[in-house]
Amino acid sequence: MERLQKVIAHAGVASRRAAEKLILAGRVTVNGAVVTELGVKVKASDQVEVDGQPLHHVAPVYYLLNKPRGVISSAKDEKGRKTVVDLFREDGVEERIYPIGRLDYDTTGALILTNDGELTNRLMHPRFAVDKVYVAKVKGVITNDQLKQLRQGVVVEGHKTAPAKAKLMSTSPDRKHCLVKLTIHEGHYHQVKNMLKAVGHPVVKLHREEYAGLTLAGLPSAGQWRKLTPKEVKVLQKLGK
């Protein structure tokens, strides 16, 4: 027997946390009876429905996308803007997938999409410290002291960020811009942009080149995607334990 929210997540309906909200809202039934309490366990033979629709076991799928600029990191957008899921729909992918975490509208780079709600929930939890590697083009030239500040953590909106890895990669000939590589494992709103702004270097462009050890090798163009290999999926699952 497994917890009801885990069964819902495995079916690709929602993440485990979102599944808990569905249960508490009275939108889930087991064998015809509404369940509104967490912790209920169900058997494989039990009939589970969400909003009147029976759950069907859906095989988990895992994709890596090189996210382009001007696309929303969401399954849908209230303003009607193009989403990362739309990119997959255009290529004939029919599974109900959603991104693990978010990249800003104008940020490019590595983004994982899946229908595995349990893995999504685990990888997004702060305690698992999943590394995310960004390359930022910023205004001005960052100093060694400012890099040291980033490595020790900076205060953003009253919160001190966790220590990051920070490296100056290159400087423009006119010294008006530079490229900075930043490795973090937190995921606060606009975190990289806010960290670099806090040390005096606003971001001009931002690209995530790596997530949880997965790089964009083989996906040179924005908008390209591929399925993760079984070995890559196992690595992600180990990170979330």
Per-residue model confidence (pLDDT) at position 167:
98
Q: Are 43 and 87 in contact (CB under 8 A)?
A: no
Query: For 141-199, how does the pLDDT look when each residue is reduced to its tens digit (9 = 90+)?
Result: 999 999 999 999 999 989 999 999 999 999 999 999 999 999 999 888 899 999 999 99
Half-sphere exposure for 153 (CA within 13 Å, toward CB): 10
Q: Are 99 and 187 in contact (CB under 8 A)?
A: no
Q: Are 1 and 42 in contact (CB under 8 A)?
A: yes
Question: Percent of the chain at pLDDT above 70?
Answer: 98
72 forms beta bridges with: 83
Which residues does 80 contact at the CB level (< 8 Å), separation at least 6? none
Q: Are 53 and 8 in contact (CB under 8 A)?
A: no
Per-residue model confidence (pLDDT) at position 95:
85
Question: Percent of the chain at pLDDT above 90?
Answer: 72
Edge to edge, the sheet with strand 53-54 lists: 33-35, 28-30, 48-50, 53-54
Per-residue model confidence (pLDDT) at position 138:
98
Q: Are 26 and 36 in contact (CB under 8 A)?
A: yes
Catalytic residue among 104, 106, 116, 131: 104
Half-sphere exposure for 91 (CA within 13 Å, toward CB): 13
Per-residue model confidence (pLDDT) at position 43:
87
Q: Are 166 and 147 in contact (CB under 8 A)?
A: yes
Sign of the dihedral defined by the CA atoms of residues 25, 31, 37, 42, in that order: negative
Query: For 130-140, how does the pLDDT look when each residue is reduced to its tens digit (9 = 90+)?
Result: 999 999 999 99
Per-residue model confidence (pLDDT) at position 241:
66
Q: What are phi and psi of 91, to 5 degrees?
A: -100, 10
Question: How far is residue 91's CA from residue 72's CA, in Å, rounded to a whole number?
Answer: 17
Per-residue model confidence (pLDDT) at position 124:
84
Q: What is the mean pLDDT of the chain?
A: 92
Q: What is the mean pLDDT of residues 98-110?
A: 94
Query: For 9-64, how does the pLDDT look when each residue is reduced to its tens digit (9 = 90+)?
Result: 777 777 778 899 999 999 999 999 999 999 899 987 889 999 998 987 678 899 99
Residue 126 has pLDDT above 80, yes or no: no
Q: Which of 68-72, 77-81, 172-176 has the lowest mean pLDDT?
A: 77-81
The answer to whether residue 86 is catalytic is no
Which domains, from first to last, does the chain contain?
2-54 (3.10.290.10), 62-126+214-239 (3.30.70.580), 131-211 (3.30.70.1560)
Q: Are 50 and 153 in contact (CB under 8 A)?
A: no
The residue among 26, 24, 32, 25 whose CA lies nearest residue 48 is 32
Most confident range, picked from 36-40, 104-108, 117-121: 104-108
Per-residue model confidence (pLDDT) at position 240:
64
Per-residue model confidence (pLDDT) at position 6:
82
Per-residue model confidence (pLDDT) at position 59:
80
Would the pTM of this model clear 0.85, i.e. be above it? no
